[in-house]
C-alpha cells in the first residue's frame, strides 16, 4: 500500500467516525426535543414594597426569605399590587445576573379576594 492510499484510507475512516458522531448527536438532540419540558415549581411570597410613581416593587419569597425586585410590567393583575398582597411569581435574571421576580400575579384566594393563601 502506498503512502497516498494509506492516507486516503485514514481520512476516509475519520470521516466515517465523524458521521457516526454527528448521527448520534442528532439522535440525542431529537430525543431531548421530543421530551416534555417540566415546568419549574412556582414561587410564592408577599409584596413588601411597591412604588406606583416609579413602577417597581419588591417581593419577599416564602421559599428562601430573599427579596426580589419586580417591575410593574411583570405584574399580571387587573389592579396594581399593594403592600401585603400574597403573590405567585417566576424567577428570572437581569442583565447583571441578579435574580428578579417575573410574571408576578396575585395568589388566588376564596377568603377575602386579596390573595391570601
User: Model confidence over 60-89: pLDDT tens digits?
Assistant: 999 888 899 999 999 988 888 999 999 999
Nearest alpha-carbon partner for 85 in 104, 106, 64, 69: 106
User: Model confidence over 88-116: pLDDT tens digits?
Assistant: 999 998 888 889 999 999 987 544 445 44
User: Model confidence over 1-52: pLDDT tens digits?
Assistant: 677 777 677 666 666 655 555 555 555 555 555 555 555 567 899 999 999 9
Amino acid at each position: 500500500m502506498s503512502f497516498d492510499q494509506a492516507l486516503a484510507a485514514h481520512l476516509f475512516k475519520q470521516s466515517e467516525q465523524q458521521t457516526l458522531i454527528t448521527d448520534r448527536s442528532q439522535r440525542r438532540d431529537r430525543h431531548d426535543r421530543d421530551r416534555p419540558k417540566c415546568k419549574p415549581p412556582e414561587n410564592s411570597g408577599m409584596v413588601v414594597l411597591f412604588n406606583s410613581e416609579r413602577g417597581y416593587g419588591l417581593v419577599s419569597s416564602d421559599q428562601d426569605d430573599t427579596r426580589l425586585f419586580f417591575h410593574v410590567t411583570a405584574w399580571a393583575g387587573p389592579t396594581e399590587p399593594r403592600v401585603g398582597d400574597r403573590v405567585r411569581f417566576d424567577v428570572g435574571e437581569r442583565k447583571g445576573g441578579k435574580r428578579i421576580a417575573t410574571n408576578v400575579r396575585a395568589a388566588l384566594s376564596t377568603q377575602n379576594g386579596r390573595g391570601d393563601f
